[in-house]
Amino acid sequence: MPIGGLRVLMKKILSLSLAFFLIFLSISVCSAQEEDTCKQFRDQIQKLEQLDITNLGPSVREIYKESLLKLYREYTTCLENEISTTVKARQRSNGASAQALDGKLVSLRAEKADTEKKIVIFEIASNLKSSPKPPVESNRAASDVATNAEPPAPESEMVPASTVTSAVHAGNGSINLGNGTAPVNNTRMAVGSAMPASQPQDCAASEAYGDPPVILADLVNRAAADAVRRNDPTRAIFPLSQMVLYTVFDAASANSSSQLRGLEAYQYLSETARTDKQLGAAANSEGAVSGIEKPSFARLLGFAIEHGGITKQNDGTNLTLSTSLYSLYAMSGGDTAETYQRAGFLNRIGLSATFAVNDQENELANARRNNLSEWSGKVRLFGDRTTRSARFQRFWNESVRPLIRERLRTLGTSVETLSSQLSSYDAIERVSRRCLPDLVRDRMNSNEFKAATDDQKRQMVADLILGHLRANVFNQVRPNGRLELNGEQVAQIENDFLPRLKTSLDHLVLADAEIKERIADLSKGPLATFAYTNYRIPTGSDYSETKFLFEQDKGLFRPLKLIGNFGLSFYNKPDPFLNQERLRDISAALSFEGSSRSPFTEAENQSRITYSFVGRYQRLFENRRRVQRTPDIGAFQFVMEIPFFKGLSLPLSATYANATEEERKNHFRFNFGMRLDTDKLFELLKAASNR
Amino acid sequence: MQKINDITYEVKNGESITIDVVPTNFLGSLSSVEAELDKIDLDNNGTDNAPSFSFTVTKHSPRTHRVFMEFNFVPTTPPTACYEVSIAGENDIGCPCGFDICMVDETRELTIAFDVVD
């Protein structure tokens, strides 16, 4: 066989072997993922990164890239879990162990940031993600960086210079892009070395900021999103001082840039988990899924405000309209924090009315006297689960506020120091504050913008802001630039401002976890309400029911939550021919409720599968001495709600009872339905748009 | 004080500035606003339910006072909650001045700039 043919054969064998190896690799890592957290991913990534793929065919290179990208992504998820676990452990520890965990957290976050940068590089290299065309200057910088580079790849395969710079800043060894170019080595680039000469500030000047630090990009994206959503260009500059400061940090030195790029985006608090909501009719109505009634109602009624004082819920069988005295009170003065405080007892009282649905077309047409099946009122007796409770406010004021202030103080001190030392700092920001909204407005008025999707619009505004920052701030931090920094100022940024910023952000991450824990605790305290319900029976006697509802999570039965109901009901006008007396019945119900993680929800959705075992007993006095009836009615029930994606959930119940109110007969009943929580859906969509 | 845009104002040395915040639609959820003037904490002269921050312009032209603010929404906050911010100085031009930050907004930290002019 000729030598050329042998070489081709060897190459094919090598390619096939590598392909099998890659496939085997991804399978083995997947199966072992839970056993050995992130170490396996780390090892496998190292092995793959060290492979020399320059002699491989394009299809195997493609498999190689996809395998490595998949590993990077899985490794990032694994690191996220490990960071979360470590944060929890850090909260429970102190002294030396706390310090060790702090160190571990720093290292994990740096590792995660590095891996995310590699993902970006791969995504761009694989054309998975659109990237702005780098300017010619930047391309030159890229070739300067890749000191070991072989002849450059075609332009379509080039990685933007700023992305390469990011990899360099990550400082974590070489990354093989697998596109035929040589690995990018850990070489430092002198920041600003390829920048244009000094020039007066030109607000319209723009240069692609190909790889902005995560903390800056996040801030810009949020501002751009608000500008687009509100159609208000000024929103694009709301956090301008922070944007300018981060850009200066990024440009000051390779060290400061690296430190800044090690910071995660500042995350605001949000929610997707809410398990204490009970919508719809009372527990014993036909459409109800659960046989027990929860005492919480304030939050549900709170939504009455959004809908002009009254909220409605239609489950197909019943239409329930709800309101609270507070929502009515607030309709005149507005629902401000002060109004809420002034309302006092009114925010403890809720009212609702349930109507039978027989007109599916016009649901509000069902809200008439003939269709009224019940109306009720609830009063919260004791237990405050709101974040306005004195206990939570004390925690917030003592533990959280100082940390929020610490971060603001760090930002303020940094800006104030730099602006007092650099004569052009205030001037540059001043010009940007005035001209940037106009530039954004012009962009938003362009035909291209009007024809774009919301995501594209946000990207356009974000690119414009970043381009402005790059040209007007980043490029001015250089010798003879308007924001030229001396060695002392660079040292202060590297050794004081950035470490302080990092510390304050780390503290807030810990505080965030504690806030969530405290809020979870709020819903576990005892809560008691008194409920009055008036039932309208078209073919019988109307009656009223009084109930004491109690819920306790932090009790003897943990991890199960205890919910208890005890009630008496009375006939408004007892009918002696039907054996009725004033006292209709006595009832009691007890429920043990638990929860577990749901495998069916999105990663950011904290909704849990809830399940409960309910026992209910009712003594119905009119059934005494009547054939085919029994006064003692017992029921056992299993209730479950399984959350799915996008706020959808499946509530279901299975009930066994020895009789009904009308008949002594053992029976089994199965109920199920679908529920859409629009609040949860809103939060999930918002979280997705933030990504 | 002269309004340039919602978060940029031109002020004079010695002028008193007040920033009032009204949290709305928070129901039983905690509202919390923090403010920092340049590099010192700006104390709340109002109440937790109606925060108010004030300061006197001490810098000279062409310097800038910056008020860094963060508006917090704890996880139980209804989606319609907002902070309504009003800003007042002396002999205001272009006002009423201010803005709102709502639960639906993605930016919850900002800087109000008070550019000192002669």
Which of A229, A240, A241, A454 to mutate: most B Cβ within 10 Å? A241
State yes or no: pLDDT of A659 exceeds 60: yes
- Does the beta carbon of B43 lie under 8 angstroms from any beta carbon of chain A? no
Residue A195's SS3 state is coil
Looking at the complex, report in whole angstroms how far the Cα of residue A245 sits from the nearest Cα belonging to chain B: 12
Check residue A264 and give its pLDDT: 85
pTM for the full predicted model? 0.62
Look at A405 and B79 and tell me if their CB atoms are within 8 Å: no
Q: How confident is the model at residue A6 (pLDDT cuts 50, 70, 90)?
A: low
Q: Of the candidates B8, B41, B50, which has its C-beta nearest A338's C-beta?
A: B50
The pair phi, psi for residue A563, each rounded to 5°, is -125, 130
State yes or no: pLDDT of A305 exceeds 80: no
Please answer whether residues A519 and A276 qualify as being in contact, where contact means their C-beta atoms are separated by less than 8 angstroms. Answer: no
Do β-strands A527-535 and A318-324 pair in parallel, antiparallel, or remain unpaired? Answer: unpaired
Check residue A189 and give its pLDDT: 29
State yes or no: pLDDT of A654 exceeds 70: yes
pLDDT digits (tens, 9 = 90+) for A582-612: 999 999 999 998 888 878 777 666 778 888 8
Q: How confident is the model at residue A8 (pLDDT cuts 50, 70, 90)?
A: low
pLDDT digits (tens, 9 = 90+) for B64-115: 999 999 999 988 788 889 999 999 999 999 999 999 999 999 999 999 999 9
Looking at the complex, report in whole angstroms how far the Cα of residue A69 sits from the nearest Cα belonging to chain B: 30
Looking at the complex, report in whole angstroms how far the Cα of residue B107 sits from the nearest Cα belonging to chain A: 6
Q: Which of A119-128, A386-395, A578-587 shows the lowest mean pLDDT across its residues?
A: A119-128
Largest CA distance in chain A: 111
Q: Which of A190-204, A572-586, B96-110 shows the lowest mean pLDDT across its residues?
A: A190-204
Looking at the complex, report in whole angstroms how far the Cα of residue A430 sits from the nearest Cα belonging to chain B: 8
Please answer whether residues B105 and B14 qualify as being in contact, where contact means their C-beta atoms are separated by less than 8 angstroms. Answer: no
A490 or A369: which carries more pLDDT confidence?
A: A490
Buried b (16+ CB within 10 A) or exposed e, B53-83: bbbebebeeebbbbbbbbbbbbbbbbbbbbb
Check residue A568 and give its pLDDT: 96
- Does the beta carbon of B103 lie under 8 angstroms from any beta carbon of chain A? no
pLDDT digits (tens, 9 = 90+) for A68-86: 888 888 888 888 788 778 7
Look at A336 and B115 and tell me if their CB atoms are within 8 Å: no
- Does the beta carbon of B45 lie under 8 angstroms from any beta carbon of chain A? no
Q: Of the candidates B4, B22, B50, which has its C-beta nearest A434's C-beta?
A: B4
State yes or no: pLDDT of A24 exceeds 70: no
A307 or A64: which carries more pLDDT confidence?
A: A64
Query: Which residue intervals of A422-497 are DSSP H helices?
Result: 425-445, 447-451, 454-472, 487-492
| DSSP character at residue A164 | H
Please answer whether residues A546 and A568 qualify as being in contact, where contact means their C-beta atoms are separated by less than 8 angstroms. Answer: yes
A590 or A66: which carries more pLDDT confidence?
A: A590
pLDDT digits (tens, 9 = 90+) for A133-163: 333 333 333 333 333 333 333 333 333 333 3
CB pairs under 8 A between A and B: 189
Q: Order the strands of the B97-102 sheet from edge to edge.
A: B52-56, B16-24, B82-88, B97-102
Distance CA A281, CA A106 (A): 51
CA angle A252, A255, A258 (to 5 degrees): 100
Looking at the complex, report in whole angstroms how far the Cα of residue A614 sits from the nearest Cα belonging to chain B: 28
| DSSP character at residue A364 | G
Check residue A204 and give its pLDDT: 72
Check residue A46 and give its pLDDT: 78
Check residue A10 and give its pLDDT: 59
- Does the beta carbon of B6 lie under 8 angstroms from any beta carbon of chain A? yes
Residue in A686, A387, A234 with CA at minimum distance from that of residue B72: A387
CA angle A539, A545, A548 (to 5 degrees): 155
Q: How confident is the model at residue A578 (pLDDT cuts 50, 70, 90)?
A: confident
State yes or no: pLDDT of A196 exceeds 60: no
Q: Is the peptide bond before A651 cis (omega within 30 degrees of 0)?
A: no
Beta bridge partners of B5: B8
The pair phi, psi for residue A252, each rounded to 5°, is -60, -50
**A48-55: average pLDDT:** 70
State yes or no: pLDDT of A576 exceeds 80: yes
pLDDT digits (tens, 9 = 90+) for B17-73: 999 999 998 888 889 999 999 989 999 999 888 899 999 999 999 999 999 999 999
pLDDT digits (tens, 9 = 90+) for A328-369: 777 776 777 777 777 777 878 888 888 888 877 777 777 777
**A106-127: average pLDDT:** 69
**A245-272: average pLDDT:** 84
Which percentage of chain A shows pLDDT scores above 90? 30
Look-up: residue for tokens 């170019």? A181
State yes or no: pLDDT of A271 exceeds 50: no
Check residue A233 and give its pLDDT: 96
A138 or A397: which carries more pLDDT confidence?
A: A397
Polymer length of chain B:
118
Q: Of the candidates B38, B41, B66, which has its C-beta nearest A405's C-beta?
A: B41
Alpha-carbon distances of A63 from A9, A20, A52, A444, rounded to whole Å: 19, 10, 14, 41
Residues of chain A in contact with residue B78, where contact means CB-CB under 8 angstroms, are 302-303, 305-306
Residues of chain B in contact with residue A686, where contact means CB-CB under 8 angstroms, are 104, 106
Query: Which residue intervals of A564-677 are DSSP H helices?
Result: none
| DSSP character at residue A362 | S
- Does the beta carbon of B8 lie under 8 angstroms from any beta carbon of chain A? yes
By CB atoms closer than 10 A (0-12, 13-18, 19+), residue A636 is middle
**A434-447: average pLDDT:** 94
Distance CA B31, CA A485 (A): 40
| DSSP character at residue A147 | T
Look at B106 and A516 and tell me if their CB atoms are within 8 Å: no
B63 to chain A: closest CA residue: A426
A627 or B70: which carries more pLDDT confidence?
A: B70
Distance CA B110, CA B7 (A): 8
The pair phi, psi for residue A379, each rounded to 5°, is -125, 125
By CB atoms closer than 10 A (0-12, 13-18, 19+), residue A681 is middle
Alpha-carbon distances of A337 from A307, A417, B81, B84, B101, rounded to whole Å: 18, 37, 10, 12, 15
Distance CA A300, CA A347 (A): 12
Alpha-carbon distances of B48 from A237, A486, A664, B110, rounded to whole Å: 27, 43, 59, 20
pLDDT digits (tens, 9 = 90+) for A28-45: 444 444 446 688 888 888
Q: How confident is the model at residue A16 (pLDDT cuts 50, 70, 90)?
A: low
What DSSP letter does each residue of B50-99 carry, written as one string?
A: S-EEEEE----TT-EEEEEEEEEE-TT--TT-EEEEEEE-SS-BS-SEEE
Q: How confident is the model at residue A123 (pLDDT cuts 50, 70, 90)?
A: low
Looking at the complex, report in whole angstroms how far the Cα of residue B16 sits from the nearest Cα belonging to chain A: 20
Q: Is the peptide bond before B62 cis (omega within 30 degrees of 0)?
A: yes
Residues in contact with A450: Cβ distance below 8 Å, sequence separation at least 6, in sequence order = none
**A527-534: average pLDDT:** 89
Beta bridge partners of A529: A380, A549
Distance CA A554, CA A105 (A): 31
Q: Is the peptide bond before A576 cis (omega within 30 degrees of 0)?
A: no
Check residue A650 and give its pLDDT: 87
Q: Which of A203-212, A304-313, B72-81, B91-100 shows the lowest mean pLDDT across its residues?
A: A304-313
Check residue A521 and give its pLDDT: 82
| DSSP character at residue A153 | P
Which of A387, A415, A606 to mutate: most B Cβ within 10 Å? A387
Looking at the complex, report in whole angstroms how far the Cα of residue B28 sits from the nearest Cα belonging to chain A: 5
Beta bridge partners of A562: A552, A592
Which B residues, 63 through 92, put their C-beta within 8 Å of a C-beta on chain A? Answer: 63-64, 66, 68-70, 72-76, 78-80
Q: Is A246 left (phi over 0), alpha (psi -120 to 50) or beta?
A: alpha
Q: How many CB atoms lie within 10 A of CB A36?
A: 12
Polymer length of chain A:
691
Look at A306 and B25 and tell me if their CB atoms are within 8 Å: yes
Residues of chain B in contact with residue A392, where contact means CB-CB under 8 angstroms, are 30
Check residue A256 and give its pLDDT: 94
Check residue A627 and give its pLDDT: 85
Name all contacts of A486-493 with Cβ < 8 Å and 24+ positions apart: A489/A252, A489/A418, A489/A421, A489/A422, A490/A252, A490/A253, A490/A256, A492/A417, A493/A248, A493/A249, A493/A252, A493/A253, A493/A256, A493/A414
- Does the beta carbon of B16 lie under 8 angstroms from any beta carbon of chain A? no
Residues in contact with A402: Cβ distance below 8 Å, sequence separation at least 6, in sequence order = none
Which of A216, A220, A426, A439 to mutate: most B Cβ within 10 Å? A426
Distance CA B9, CA B18 (A): 12
Looking at the complex, report in whole angstroms how far the Cα of residue B82 sits from the nearest Cα belonging to chain A: 9
Look at B36 and A416 and tell me if their CB atoms are within 8 Å: no
Residue in B52, B43, B34, B33 with CA at minimum distance from that of residue A406: B34
| DSSP character at residue A497 | I
Look at A519 and B70 and tell me if their CB atoms are within 8 Å: no
ipTM above 0.90, yes or no: yes
- Does the beta carbon of B96 lie under 8 angstroms from any beta carbon of chain A? no
Do β-strands B8-11 and B109-116 pair in parallel, antiparallel, or remain unpaired? Answer: parallel
Buried b (16+ CB within 10 A) or exposed e, A265-279: bbebbbbbbbbbebe
What DSSP letter does each residue of A200-262 carry, written as one string?
A: ---TT------S--HHHHHHHHHHHHHHHHHT-GGGGGTTHHHHHHHHHHHHH-HHHHHHHHT
**A312-322: average pLDDT:** 77
By CB atoms closer than 10 A (0-12, 13-18, 19+), residue A432 is buried
Which of B8, B25, B27, B70 to mutate: most A Cβ within 10 Å? B27
Residue B13's SS3 state is coil
Please answer whether residues A652 and A670 qualify as being in contact, where contact means their C-beta atoms are separated by less than 8 angstroms. Answer: yes
Which percentage of chain A shows pLDDT scores above 70? 70
Alpha-carbon distances of A398 from A5, A392, A403, B23, B51, rounded to whole Å: 76, 10, 9, 21, 17
Looking at the complex, report in whole angstroms how far the Cα of residue A280 sits from the nearest Cα belonging to chain B: 19
Residue A507's SS3 state is helix
Check residue A77 and give its pLDDT: 81
Q: What is the residue-averaged pLDDT of chain A?
A: 75
Please answer whether residues A221 and A235 qualify as being in contact, where contact means their C-beta atoms are separated by less than 8 angstroms. Answer: no
Residues of chain B in contact with residue A225, where contact means CB-CB under 8 angstroms, are 106
Look-up: residue for tokens 């006008």? A573
Distance CA A99, CA A80 (A): 20
Please answer whether residues A311 and A342 qualify as being in contact, where contact means their C-beta atoms are separated by less than 8 angstroms. Answer: no
Beta bridge partners of A667: A657
